[in-house]
Amino acid sequence: MPGTHAILSASSSSRWLACPPSARINAELPETTSVYAEEGTKAHALAEKTLKDYLAGGPAEVQSDNEEMKEAVQRYVDICIEKINAAKAASPDAVVHVEFRLDFSTYVPDGFGTGDMVIVSDKSLEICDLKYGKGVPVSAEGNTQMRLYALGAVEEFGMLYGFDIVRMTIIQPRLDSVSTDTLSAGKLLDWGRSIIPVAKEAYDGKGEFQAGDHCRFCKFRPQCKALAAYMTEKTALRKKQELTDLETVSILQAAKDIKRWLTDIEDYALGKALDGYDWPGMKLVEGRSKRVITNPDAAAAALINLGFVPSAVYKPRELQTMTALEKLVGKKSLAEALGDLIEKPSGKPTLVELSDKRPPLDITAKAADAFDDSLL
């Protein structure tokens, strides 16, 4: 769940396990928040309330004015209830905890976090985590955040229950994604013991800087030399006149990361300049701007007064975007209400990596269509 403030938080563990010194550096940089994090916090609170009400004998319906959030949290709650019922059918002694504090400080100094839902019985232990974001699907496979939560749950319940199976599930309702990783309790404890030295190093602010995908949410990104070296290495080219295919592909694959990194540096440098910092060889200027009409009603009246017809003065009425309508009506309800009126046209051809889930584009069929059209 968002809002954990431990130096070695589970949610940032993929970063500090790979780059131990990043833990102290991030702890010392100012906290940042975003609308996405705030939305995530609200969704978690809604899920917690609904599940707790349900477990106390109440209804399992999510109550919210925000249709999109209501629908997504309902999907999460429904999956949790299925899991609760399955666990109780397999083992009537199964116990459910919602928003449960998990202490994994045996492995990670001061380490604690919150399990969104923990189901424990003599047969198995399951931790479920709600991810409200819809940016990228997060896999539970080898997920260090989930493993740390699971270690905390084993610490709490391992003595009381005889389970050997530990299941870790990430539910991302807005991406229709449910991902589970399963480990034996023994394997999980082995992993926990293996990270103790790295966690200690991270806690002490020691270790080697190591850049990689985990840098994505590091607050030190715009200032980090290790990341700058990593980004420039991504496009390190051999001394030849023409790029090889492999070099072109490596640039294409790195482009998204490099663009994001450049934007981070621009934002960071602009922020400091606005605070009065003088960057050598740079200056702060006013950006380009467009003229605006300060009072659209008065402007329209003046033009109609001059004899222009309203249909020429005003833009045609426009429907809200799909995202705005989904927020208003809810994803499922909008699909039901509009049915065939919703169409998904073909997307623009895009080059992606082979691991992408979308099927390859049939360019021969496209070329044949274009040829047929040209004969018409």
Tokens 């807005």 — which residue? 174
Q: Which is it for strands 177-184 and 165-172: parallel, antiparallel or unpaired? A: antiparallel
Q: Please measure the distance between the N-terminal and C-terminal CA atoms of the chain and give it in whole angstroms.
A: 58
Cα–Cα distance for residue pair 336/343, rounded to 1 Å: 13
- 3-state secondary structure (DSSP) of residue 92: coil
Question: Minimum distance between the CB of residue 17 and ligand SF4, rounded to whole angstroms?
Answer: 10
Question: Minimum distance between the CB of residue 43 and ligand SF4, rounded to whole angstroms?
Answer: 27
The smaller minimum CB distance to ligand SF4, of residues 17 and 154, is found at: 17
The smaller minimum CB distance to ligand SF4, of residues 51 and 224, is found at: 224
Of the candidate spans 19-27, 82-90, 254-262, 286-294, the one that interacts with ligand SF4 by CB under 6 A turns out to be 19-27
**Site for ligand SF4 (CB under 6 A): which residue of 6, 19, 168, 189?**
19
Binding mask 201-220 toward ligand SF4 (x if CB under 6 A, else -) reads --------xxx--xx--x-x
Q: Give residue 162's identity as a one-letter amino acid code.
A: G
CB proximity list for 119: less than 8 A, separation 6 or greater: 83, 84, 87, 94, 95, 96, 97, 125, 126, 128
Q: How far is CA 159 from CA 120, 154, 156, in A?
A: 12, 8, 8
Q: Closest Cα to residue 225, out of 212, 213, 211? A: 211
Tokens 């019922």 — which residue? 85
| Binding of ligand SF4 by 7 (CB under 6 A) | no
CB proximity list for 134: less than 8 A, separation 6 or greater: 172, 174, 175
Question: Minimum distance between the CB of residue 203 and ligand SF4, rounded to whole angstroms?
Answer: 15
Question: Minimum distance between the CB of residue 222 and ligand SF4, rounded to whole angstroms?
Answer: 9
Size of interface with ligand SF4, in residues (CB under 6 A): 15
| Binding of ligand SF4 by 224 (CB under 6 A) | yes
| Binding of ligand SF4 by 14 (CB under 6 A) | no
Binding mask 24-63 toward ligand SF4 (x if CB under 6 A, else -) reads -x--------------------------------------
Of the candidate spans 57-65, 223-231, 288-296, 357-365, the one that interacts with ligand SF4 by CB under 6 A turns out to be 223-231
Binding mask 227-266 toward ligand SF4 (x if CB under 6 A, else -) reads x---------------------------------------
Cα–Cα distance for residue pair 304/82, rounded to 1 Å: 62
What's 31's DSSP letter?
Answer: P
Binding region for ligand SF4 (CB under 6 A): 15, 19, 22, 25, 209-211, 214-215, 218, 220-221, 224, 226-227
